[in-house]
Amino acid sequence: MYELELIESERDLDGFKVELRSADEVKRFYRSLCDSSRSIGLDFVECGEALRSFASFDEALECFAEGIARETGCLQAYLRRGELLFELAVCCGSDEEMVRLGWRSVDDFRKGLVLSLGANDVVWRLGIALLLVDDAAGVQKLADRVIMKGEAVPASVRCDFLYLLGLAKVFMTDKGGADEAFEELVGLDCGVESGWFGKLVSCMALSDGAGAEVILRQIQLRDVVLAAAGECLARSGCTRFIDVARALLDAGSMVLNAPGERPGI
């Protein structure tokens, strides 16, 4: 499942052609890319990821933008910039800034959706970004389009989008719809952990936490990271998706990768 693996704070730089030990070295490498007429979009994606790993976020955004300027069809540049914008939106302290960065992330994922010809992992990222800017109705439409394909999509993909649909229903205050989606997830081998976590989100958001202890015990039996995120939600409450994203971040989860791509699921 595409568990809410929000952000990777450490990136694998093994693919680099040069060894980069510091932010200054990466910045010099970035300048050399800019000075070269042979640099392509993916060179800037790689460099942008390195800048991100050193928390040079402004420079990373510039680097991804330069990659797009060099190669307008560079899918990875849009996706990586969208992921970083999403991360910055979740971490910022201002609600206004969170929404501004969130919509920029949405815009990048929409462009990525076109370039990827509707790849499911990009649809997932777009859906999660739309939840961040409180467009749950838009998320429902995306999830429904994938789920209604039925047997044409693998069971794991169905699980991913049932989870997304359930979250959309929660933040549309459709408790019945959310319960239906998460109940189906719990009954599927690929969706048990995410189904129980979704039930907890629904309980906290729509039922004032009544019964949260029972659900949390089920999560604790199955997944350490989700249990930690659930405990955080139980303490802080849950009224918007940003609360869920921050709880997962605090628990050490990552962001926009599929639930099944996080170790342990």
Kindly write down the DSSP assignment for every residue of 69-127, as one continuous string.
Answer: HH-TT-HHHHHHHHHHHHHHHHH-S-HHHHHHHHHHHHHHHHHHHHHTTS-HHHHHHHH
Q: Which of 17-31, 49-63, 205-219 has the lowest mean pLDDT?
A: 17-31
Q: Is the pLDDT of residue 13 over 50?
A: no
Looking at mean pLDDT, say which of 104-113, 216-225, 233-242 comes out highest: 104-113
pLDDT at 18 over 70: no
Query: Which positions ≥6 away from 87 have C-beta within 8 Å?
Result: 6, 7, 255
Confidence of residue 263 (pLDDT cuts 50, 70, 90): very low
Most confident of 23-32, 123-132, 250-259: 123-132
pLDDT at 173 over 70: yes
Quote the CA–CA distance of 137 and 115 in Å, as a whole number.
Answer: 23
Mean pLDDT confidence for 158-185: 97
The tens digit of pLDDT for each residue in 33-63 reads 999 999 999 999 999 999 999 999 999 999 9
Quote the pTM value.
Answer: 0.87
